Structure 1
Amino acid sequence: MRSGRTLLGLSLLALALGAASALSTTAGAQGAKLRFGVGPLQPTPSETKKAYEPFFAYLAKELGRDFDLTATTDWAGISVALANKQVDLAWMGPWGYVLANDDSGARAIATAKYDGKPIYHAIVVCKPGLVTSWPDGAKGKRVSFADVGSTSGWLIPTSWFKRRGVDPKQLFNYSDGATHAANEIGVASGQVDCATDFDRNRNAMIEGGKLEKNATEVVWTSEPLPNDAIAVPRDFDPALADRIQKILVGITDAQAKTILPNHYTGFVAATHESYRMMPKMAGWAAKAWPPAIDELPILLLRTAETIAMAAIGTTAAALLALPLCVVAARNVTPSMALYYPSRWFLNALRGVDSFVFALLFVAAVGLGPFAGVLGIALHTWGSTAKLWAEAIENIPPGPLEAAAATGASRVKVIAYALFPDVAPSMVSVGLFWWEFNVRASTVLGVVGAGGIGQELKNSMDLLLFPRLLTIILLILVTVTVIDHTSEWLRRKLE
């Protein structure tokens, strides 16, 4: 009994001490020192702290708190610090924020404005005059990417290459892991031929006298990217986060000149949605490479099926259009009573896209390429017949009148005088529609009309990114070959 009472007493004492400790921590949190962190936005951590300390001091003063400031040496470092709750608030790059959000649920509350805009650009710099075309002109050259936690120095250029089916590690004498400043200095000093960076860093180094303006040359610029994020941990006090957000958004241009580094002009409110594009790009870069080739025979068969759909649909449309184009041509139509209805009919066919026809036929005849062939044939029938009719209307009347003057029948005039005259134009139009329908057949597969498009949709639905990339590459190759073949045939007809 005594031991039981002793154990119970110790348990109650432990609970009381735990509760007291929790109450003490909660109470102390109201005025606790805030731990701020900032990524490598300047060449060295000491320079970063010097440049950004006035801003964090201003924020801490507005909150009535003391603070500590840590500057990391790489972009992944600030992400890890935020994810592990080693800092309470971080100024970080977009990709670093996405990593922290994915790892620990960190959330963005503001985006920095640079020269009044919440965007910036990734760039590639090379030794001036060395590379005239990017990236082919840099093949085999020494190219340095930044560390893998960098948005502009690694994620964006890597994603750009992956979307084009190019492995930068194979194209270049590749290296990564450098800071942005080291990349610029490496190019300027000749240690590397080209390197990744972002426009803000290059401007800051030039203005700070650390880089001559003509020491490096920008050879590639990305699309606009969301600017640096101000982020907090997932379980950060929501009321305090809202208060910080209001303070940041409320910074005026005049205040920004005194507390923020050069060119920074304030902040806009942000959420995770503001950086939604980054995970998508990261997902492609990380998951889609290398392309999957284990199902290549099946995918090649589906590609051939797509080409066949286009060829059969276009051929059927051409056969149907041949008699109708004569009726729909004002100068050779047998009767105006037939001319207007035929034109209205062609307009109706042209007005409904092959995609819509395919949807209807998938419901009527079931899934598969037959529905796609019917969809292509109907839309192409209307478009081809109209273009052929206009070509017939534009021919000179002389040959037709001469043939008719010999006593030839109407059918013979059309067969021996009309069609030989317009044949090159008709074949050119037919080739165009075949080329167009190859691309259209890919889209039709998405709605269940067979071919490579159906495999594309299946891969997207199942998130099979390497297989999806393989399919996209097959489509690009197919369309390119068809385009060149069609162009070659048209030149032969001229």
Structure 2
Amino acid sequence: MKLKSLLVGVGLAAVSAFGAAAENWKLAVTDVEGMERLQLEWGPFKDALEAATGDTFEFYAVNSRTAAAEALRGETVDFVVSGPAEYVVINKLTNAAPLIGLGRPDYHCAIIVLADSGINLPADLVGKKVAFGDIGSTSNMLCPMQTLADHGVDPVNDIEKTHTSRNIAFEALKNGDVAALGMNAGTFLGVRNGQTELPYGYFKMIARSGDLPNDMIMVGAHVPADAAMAVRDAILDNKAQIIAGITAHEENDKYVGMDLVAIEDSAYDYVRSMYTNAGYPQFDNFIGD
């Protein structure tokens, strides 16, 4: 606590990289619970962010996506690291805006079947059971449902959907308890490659999405636009150091090979379409909460 107080004091007294008095911002990460995990997994990112901007960033721990939205609405947090599905709801509830996209490589989803199942097209899944991942997940639920919709299959009415963990889902697929899996394509490859008793060709993708909209750093509607743009520009001007901070901990390995890009709200209209096709057209509540 003494160290944190010292850092805050230095930040308030310092002059930022933009020639104005340094700011003290609050920073949250939606899928990390507890201050200890925040410090461990995202501490190097926070340090790089402070070095790039000349501002001070204090972690603000949230225990749910709803808590993050409430903190933004109450102006007790300023910047939030989040995924695309969370952003769409948070934006609807708070008018927070995307600031920086965390460009994850190979971030897309796929529909997986057994190679000898006789199922070759998404249309072949009509009337059959399909397993998806966590309720509300961008790449393990919303994206594969949208992929089915893109191929003319209504994911609400044309199939029998179920939700389960990836390892259980794979066993269900192998046992014939489900006809297909809808999941993050990278996750599929990781699990498939761990199935050492089976050849890779035992499974096949019958459809895949395009690359998904980025995870992001979003900014609260209460943060002055010039201050938000100053933070954005500092991040983009110091990409290598910021990326190194994000990927320093193994829990963030999904970001290895990432880029940082400026983004706009319209990039997430595809995610809004996902909510609609999954049966949640208002996208004003977190699915599964």
Q: Measure how far apart 1:224 and its partner are.
A: 2.7
Structure 1 pair 68–280 and aligned structure 2 pair: CA distance change class (3 A): same
CA–CA distance in 1 between the matches of 2:152 and 2:231? 43
Task: Quote the Cα distance in structure 2 between the aligned partners of 1:239 and 1:213.
Answer: 47
Q: Deviations over 1:379-427 (max 9, x none)?
A: xxxxxxxxxxxxxxxxxxxxxxxxxxxxxxxxxxxxxxxxxxxxxxxxx
Among 104, 110, 120, which residue is 1:123 paired with?
110
Q: Which residue of 1 aligns with 2:268?
A: 275
Aligned twin of 2:193: 213
State the secondary structure of the residue aligned to 1:146.
coil
Deviation at 1:90, TM superposition (A): 1.5
Residues 1:86 and 1:245: Cα distance change in structure 2 (over 3 Å): same
SS at match of 1:256: helix
Task: Work out the number of aligned pairs and report it.
Answer: 244
Identity over the aligned pairs, expressed in percent? 17
Matched, 1:56 2:41: no
1:231 CA drift (Å): 0.5
TM-aligned CA deviation for residue 72 of structure 1: 5.3
For residues 196 and 218 of structure 1, the distance between their equivalents in structure 2, rounded to whole angstroms, comes to: 10
Distance 1:130 1:214 in 2: 21
- Matching residue of 1:105: 95
Q: Give the TM-score, by structure 2 length.
A: 0.64
Task: State the 1:109 CA deviation.
Answer: 0.8
Determine the C-alpha separation between the residues in 2 that align with 1:127 and 1:48.
39
Structure 1 equivalent of residue 219 of structure 2: 232
Q: Check whether the contact 2:139–2:183 (CA below 8 A) recurs between aligned residues.
A: yes
1:70 to 39, 61, 71: 61
Letter in 1 for 2:258: T
Aligned to 1:246, which of 209, 224, 233? 233
- Pick from 172, 179, 182 the counterpart of residue 196 of structure 1: 182
Q: Which has the higher strand share?
A: 2
**Shift of the alpha carbon at 1:268?**
0.8
CA gap 1:33/1:122 in 2 versus in 1, 3 angstroms: same
Question: Contact 2:128–2:160 (CA<8 Å) still a contact in 1?
Answer: yes
Displacement of 1:105 after TM fit? Answer: 0.6
Match of 2:134 among 117, 130, 146: 146
Aligned AA (1:236) = V
Alpha-carbon contact 2:72-2:78 (below 8 Å) kept? yes
| Partner residue in 1 for 2:167 | 185
Cα distance between partner residues in 2 of 1:236 and 1:201: 36
The separation in 2 between residues aligned to 1:34 and 1:227, in whole angstroms, is 22
SS at 1:120 equivalent? coil
Structure 2 unpaired stretches of 5+: 1-11, 14-20, 196-202, 282-289
| Closer/same/farther in 2, CA of residues 264 and 239 from structure 1, 3 Å limit | farther
Q: Secondary structure at the match of 1:225?
A: coil
Q: 2:30 maps to which residue? A: 38
Matches within 5 A, 1:391-402: none
Structure 1 position 107, deviation (Å): 0.4
Change (3 A) 1:137 1:46: farther
Instruction: Please state how far the C-alpha of 1:45 moved relative to its aligned partner.
Output: 11
* In 2, Cα distance between equivalents of 1:60 and 1:162: 43
Checking the alignment, whether the CA contact within 8 Å between 1:76 and 1:96 is kept in structure 2 is no
Alignment of 1:340-351 (within 5 A): none
Q: CA RMSD in A?
A: 4.1
TM-score, with length taken from structure 1: 0.41
Pairwise CA distance, 1:89: 1.4
1:122 & 1:186 partners in 2: Cα distance?
A: 18
Question: 2:28, 2:60 within 8 Å by CA — same for their partners in 1?
Answer: yes
Listed one character per residue, the Cα deviations across residues 61-103 of structure 1 (whole Å, up to 9, x for unaligned) are 4444252253756x67655654555532122122221211122
Counterpart-to-counterpart distance in 2, 1:241 and 1:201: 34
The 8 Å contact of residues 144 and 183 in structure 2, kept in 1 or not, is answered as no
2:135 and 2:141 in contact (8 A); partners too = yes
Maintained 8 Å contact 2:98/2:264: yes
The residue number in structure 2 matching 1:315 is none
Q: How far apart, CA to CA, are the structure 2 residues paired with 1:201 and 1:72? A: 25
Q: Which has the higher contact order (CA 8 A, sep 6+)?
A: 2
- Tell me if the contact between 1:121 and 1:225 (Cα under 8 Å) persists in the aligned partners: yes
Q: State the Cα distance separating 1:267 from its structure 2 match.
A: 0.7
Q: Residue 196 of structure 1 aligns to a residue in which SS? A: strand
TM-aligned CA distance change 1:257 to 1:104, over 3 Å: closer
Structure with the bigger percentage of helix? 1
Match of 1:319 in 2: none
Residue 125 of structure 1, CA deviation? 3.8
Q: Which runs of 5+ in 1 are unaligned?
A: 1-26, 289-494
